[in-house]
Homo-oligomer: A and B are copies of this chain.
Amino acid sequence: MDATPPRHLSARKKPRQARSATTVEAIFEATIQVLLREGIHRLTTTRVAERAGVSVGTMYQYFPHKQALLYALNERYLDLVAERVEAACQAQHGAPTKAMVEALVTAYWEAKTERSEVTRALYRSAVELDNEALIEAFARRMDAATIAMLKSAPDAVYANLDLVNVTLLSVIFGTVRNVFERNLPASQQVAIRHQLTIMCLSYLEMSAGKAEPGAPGCA
């Protein structure tokens, strides 16, 4: 995320040699592993270092403290998700509303559930982390991406685009998280995802001043 991190959370120094880049990567990976296998209350600098195959001291060369590590981890993750959603949105510029909704739901849903354990681990790591700035920046990026997409729709014009957009995103993001955390069987997840798409589409159609010439309607 491009949010300037709170000063106390910024990374200590940037890797200059190749091996240190490897190290940092290993540390990130190890953090996720520990988070998954041990839970957040057993997420220890020592344990992370051990699993990463480096010493604690090394960790502290790149992250001034544990919080900074978690912050950076979340930053990376949100960045990935944001990029995917943005790409999906751009790909649908000028497409019909239905395609837009499907692409949006699919992109976000898959970004979150593809490596669901990682997502879960990060949800946990984010608690008690001063990451409001991160969330805020993520929200803004998503807002911008979907607003631009919706504006380009050939079959709809929204009188209250901002509100419609923020509602749409809240519903999609919230639902994904909720379904995700309830850990429902995969088949049910797929079904709900489909329903969600239908629901959002219906919402958008309802909110749009329709511009479709031969709109199917009353006979």
Contacts and interface: CB of A to CB of B under 8 A. Distances in A.
By size class, the interface of chain A is 35 or more
Q: How many copies of the shown chain assemble into the complex?
A: 2
The 8 tightest CB contacts between A and B, nearest first, are: A174-B174, A174-B178, A218-B218, A167-B195, A174-B175, A199-B203, A127-B127, A170-B178
A202 interface: yes
Interface string A191-219: 11001101110110010000000000111
8 contacts: A167-B199, A170-B192, A173-B174, A174-B177, A177-B177, A195-B203, A199-B199, A218-B219
A209 to B, nearest CB: 16
Contacts of A177: 174, 177-178
Contact of A199 (B41, B171, B173): B171
Interface of A: 39-41, 124, 127-128, 132, 135, 139, 163-164, 166-167, 170-171, 173-179, 181-184, 188, 191-192, 195-196, 198-200, 202-203, 206, 217-219
B182 A167 contact: no
Given A176-B174, A177-B174, A203 B202 contact: yes
Contacts of A176: 174
Nearest to A193: B167
A170 B191 CA distance: 12
B196 A41 contact: no
A202 B195 CA distance: 12
Given A218-B219, A219-B218, A170 B175 contact: yes
B124 A128 contact: yes
A171 B175 contact: yes
